[in-house]
Structure 1
Amino acid sequence: MLYNWRMGKITSVKPCAKSDRLNIFVDGEFSFAVSYEVAFKCGIRENVVVSDEDIAVIKDEDECKRAFEAGINYAVKKTITKKQLFDYLIRKGFESTAAEKAVKKAAEYGYADDKKYAFAFVATYGEQRGKRRLENELKAAGVSDDIIAEALQTANESALKNAADKYLRTHAKIDKNKFYNYLLYRGFDYDEIKNVVGAMTDED
């Protein structure tokens, strides 16, 4: 397939007034803005002839850089998965291609780590939530089944009793249906709940 790319000459490169970027003018008209790093990397300077294809490549390079920087600024604040980082970048308005490249690079640097997230999540919430709920929430975060299975092996086996004890401490009068629902909502299995609730309430 042949393309009729328009050619033009960079006539001016000016610093942006309120950001660390450069405004690029082609044939006397504003064309696009890029970071200093991308401008240097792509050889942008006055009197250089560029095509529409060149400009598209430069703008894509710049968006990938901005997506990576935005992703890192977000990821340093908390442990996240690759899916969570991708979704964040999409919400910020980045194209999916730039978001994917940014996530891949961030993961290589350890800023988006599914396994680290899964183990941290289980360590934080495993005391009061059942394995079923933990599994569902980890899947929603984009964690693979293999990693979930590995992380769930570290879950506290006494989590159900801990959750039940907490409910009993905070409710003077026990409604068994509400007690069941409280524990089911937290992802515990019905049969396990029945045994624990039965023992705690002298249920036959």
Structure 2
Amino acid sequence: MAPRTRKQLAEKLAAKEVPAEIVVEVLDRFEEVGLVDDRAFAESFVHARRSGRGRRALAQELRRKGVDDETAADALEVVDHDSQAEAARELVRRKLRSTAGLERAVRERRLFGLLARRGFPTDVVLRVVREELDGQA
């Protein structure tokens, strides 16, 4: 089983109709012995997914999984502006091959959308797409 946050485990136990006081007791004990660690989960999650996502998307995913904002912010420190630009550049380069026969405006629109959906900052999206398209001209 993949690592889970405290919130995810609590939801699973609640779905199995485990009484709330038992859930709290069990999860507290799991935290004491290190079986549940939201900080370690967040760091691992960010490390595994940072190459294909921007900081904003990673933060949203962590929030959905029940990681508090402070813990998420600590884990996201490794995702700086330069690493986001490099990850965006890799995605754009892969997508450029499949859009080779299209007009520049269409390619820009598709690439902008791809990177925006992946949570990359607007300045990174604009710069990377234009640099990569200019480099192909």
TM-score (norm 1): 0.57
Check 1:169–1:90 CA distance in 2 against 1; reply closer, same or farther (3 A cut).
farther
Q: Give 1:38-187 correspondences, 5 Å limit.
A: 77-155=1-79, 157=83, 158-173=86-101, 175-187=107-119
CA contact 1:129–1:163 (8 Å) conserved in 2 = no
Offset, 1:102: 1.4
1:197 maps to 2:121: no
Offset, 1:173: 3.7
Gaps of 5+ in 1: 1-76
What CA deviation, in whole Å up to 9, does each residue of 1:57-114 have, x standing for no partner? xxxxxxxxxxxxxxxxxxxx22211111111111122122221221111111211110
1:188 maps to 2:120: yes
Offset, 1:131: 0.2
**Richer in helix (by share):** 2
Structure whose alpha-carbon radius of gyration is higher: 1
- Structure 1 stretches of 4+ with a deviation exceeding 6 A read none
Gaps of 5+ in 2: none
**Richer in strand (by share):** 1
Offset, 1:170: 4.2
The total of aligned residue pairs comes to: 127
Q: Report 1 or 2 for greater relative contact order, CA contacts < 8 Å, sequence distance ≥ 6.
A: 2
CA contact 2:5–2:36 (8 Å) conserved in 1 = yes
- What is the alpha-carbon distance in structure 1 between the residues aligned to residue 79 and residue 48 of structure 2? 10
- What is the alpha-carbon distance in structure 1 between the residues aligned to residue 31 and residue 72 of structure 2? 18
- What is the alpha-carbon distance in structure 1 between the residues aligned to residue 69 and residue 116 of structure 2? 22
